[in-house]
Amino acid sequence: MSKILRVNMTNLTAKLEDVPSKYRLMGGRGLTSAVTSDEVPPTCHPLGPNNKVTYAPGIVTGSGAPTAGRLSIGAKSPLTGTIKESNAGGIAADKLARIGIKAIIVEGQPKEKGKFWVLKVDKSGAELMPAAAEWVGKGLYEAYPKMLKKFGDKVGIISIGVAGEKLMAMSGICVNDPENRPSRYAGRGGLGAVMGSKGLKAIVVDDAGGASLALANKEAFDTGRKKMTDALLQHDITKPGGALNTYGTAVCVAVINEAGALPTRNFSSGRFEGASKISGEMINETCKKRGGVGMTGHRCSPGCIIQCSNVYPKEDGTELVSCQEYESLWSFGANCGIDSLDVIGELIRLCNDYGVDTIEAGATIGVAMEAGLAKFGDGKKAVELMHEIGKGTLLGHILGGGTALTADTFGVVRCPTVKRQAMPAYEPRAIKGIGVTYATSTMGADHTAGYTIAPEIFGVSGKVDQFIVEKADMSRNFQYVTAFLDATGHCLFVSFAILDIASGLEGMVEECNGVLGTNWTVDDIGRIGGDIVKKERAFNEAAGFAKVDDRVPEFMKYEKLPPHNVVFDVPDEVLDKVHNP
């Protein structure tokens, strides 16, 4: 029987509780958002004692379902002020599920400020222990090996870096990958700062003696797993040797650049002349040329079929970083005018080391370049600015506060944020549907909230013109389906296959039925996902957000974006129809 582990950082206790009946059918984002909605006052300070941070594996995580190793983390965001869920790959979610932990809820704050603790969780229970001095104030590439030496190299580690310790609003929460790198991030929304405000440096998960998730209906699960697996193995984007497996998520660089929608030099253009130098094709070519540890087709979590990660090598074949993801290399690449994979790789490595979100960090440095702190294309200065964050200088704290804070501080008008969260690597003026999602997501600008890029650019589930403005229904449907998918624990990238192959979508639902004993059908996806989004919207409304917050930045309405010379011309009435049809 699964349990909820409640950790009180004020009295330093950790106790197991039965799962309330209202949470029995939930997992992942569905559960984290429910706990936040039920237990966190919407108007509380995100870094104060009344916020809580929840960690939850997906519904089917730990069951052997393919590509289903995501860990959802939820709280009120210090970056946006909204409810927030961010999820990560890595090995910890699977391990939590295998020892029967449905969720960890961390509440309260230590009486002794500035002291950090580690939560050790295993099959027998949990305990809090003081974090060793050698784990705190250090880069994660230094701290993780030391924690692994203490707890063994088979554990999952969920940890913050120095940015989280310093309560920076762009700080993320890191999970080790299958090779124990500190590289898989729940990056968005500043949840690392919430964890840091609790005095919690790390959660260590030891699943020794654990077992696969119990199934209520093995036949239904096996049927669903086969359908899902077959779909992933058949689809051109997700199959072995397919686009994601061969080139990684950076396969998007050339495609989005060609579409005139690759945000360049702080969203001043939709095309980057150096795109071919930072593409997935170039990553693949470089890995082959340099050899050594370099590889594409790397998995970020157990049981992943798609394997879209990579290990990027230095010139001598030793490791520079894993992983050069599309969003990360775009934010430091095209967005900052940098066309060197080596420089971008170093910047991503620093994000991993300091514990910050690569999207927010790259967008922030883009704004800093706009402000004159560096010139676009100056990789050396970009690295220096990242070190300011790591050192926690005054400038580092401004940058570590994110894109909007940096723009406010230096008077930059072109600030590409919604609800103070930086936009990812798709220009909403050139791809209208993703702009609708950015504007109306419950969590600030976020492509993963409703990836309309699938039909608008890739033609998945049918091709849709990227310039059409009437996309309220499409964005809403994608937001609802995504919320359900986030609840299952599957990676977002399974959506390419299941949106094109109906049996794959059926399989995802049948997997859930097999675990939970439910009788859901595909028709229930929108209802369940919609309930999650509506709960998140209710939290935000109680926190003071209104429809005027569901808007893109003003400059996008009057600055024409080359090469198509378009503005964001989606009427406010369309944006308002997304959640009020």
Show me where the domains of the chain are located: 3-205
Helix-helix angle 341-354:280-290, to 10 degrees? 90
Average of pLDDT values for 274-283? 98
Give the predicted TM-score (pTM) of the model. 0.98
Assign 447 to helix, strand or coil.
Answer: helix
Mean pLDDT of 402-425: 98
In 86-206, which ranges are continuous DSSP H helix? 92-98, 140-151, 162-165, 191-197
Q: How far is CA 548 from the centre of its chain?
A: 25
Q: Which two tokens stand for residue 336?
A: 């900052």
Question: For the chain, what percent of residues have pLDDT higher than 90?
Answer: 99
383-412 pLDDT tens trace: 999 999 999 999 999 999 999 999 999 999
449 closest CA partner among 550, 348, 544: 550
Is the predicted pLDDT of residue 1 greater than 80, yes or no? no
The residue behind tokens 């520079």 is 320
> Under CATH, which number does the domain 3-205 receive?
3.60.9.10
Contact predicate 437/427, CB 8 Å = no
Please give the Cα distance from 178 to 176 (Å, whole number). 7
Name the pLDDT band for 480 (thresholds 50, 70, 90): very high
Listed residue (34, 99, 94) closest to 62, CA to CA = 94
**pLDDT over threshold 80, residue 434:** yes
Both tokens of 245, joined, read 């497996």
Helix (H, G, I), strand (E, B) or coil at 494: helix
SS3 assignment, position 178: coil
The answer, yes or no, to whether the previous bond of 110 is cis (omega within 30 of 0) is no
Q: Could you report the per-residue pLDDT of 520-568, keeping only the tens digit for each?
A: 999 999 999 999 999 999 999 999 999 999 999 999 999 999 999 999 9
Mean pLDDT for 270-274 is 98
Region of residue 35 (phi > 0: left; psi between -120 and 50: alpha; otherwise: beta)? alpha
Residue 241: closest CA among 309, 306, 313, 312: 306
Distance set, CA 114 to CA 117, 133, 136, 202 (Å): 10, 12, 10, 15
Distance CA 499, CA 496 (A): 6
Dihedral in degrees, nearest 10, Cα atoms 264, 269, 271, 273: -70
Order of strands, sheet of 182-186, starting from the edge strand that comes earlier in the sequence: 125-130, 117-122, 200-205, 156-159, 173-176, 182-186
Mean pLDDT of 92-98: 98
pLDDT at residue number 34: 98
- Contact between 532 and 487 under an 8 Å Cβ cutoff? The reply is yes
The predicted pLDDT at position 92 comes to 98
Is the pLDDT at 74 greater than 90, yes or no?
yes
Q: 322 pLDDT band (50/70/90 cuts)?
A: very high
Sheet-wide strand order for 13-18: 13-18, 3-8, 101-107, 53-57, 71-76, 83-88
pLDDT above 90 for 119: yes
The reported pLDDT for the residue numbered 113 is 87
Are 250 and 327 in contact by the 8 Å Cβ rule? The answer is: no
Q: Is the pLDDT of residue 269 over 80?
A: yes
Where does residue 567 rank: exposed (0-12), middle (13-18), buried (19+ CB within 10 A)? middle
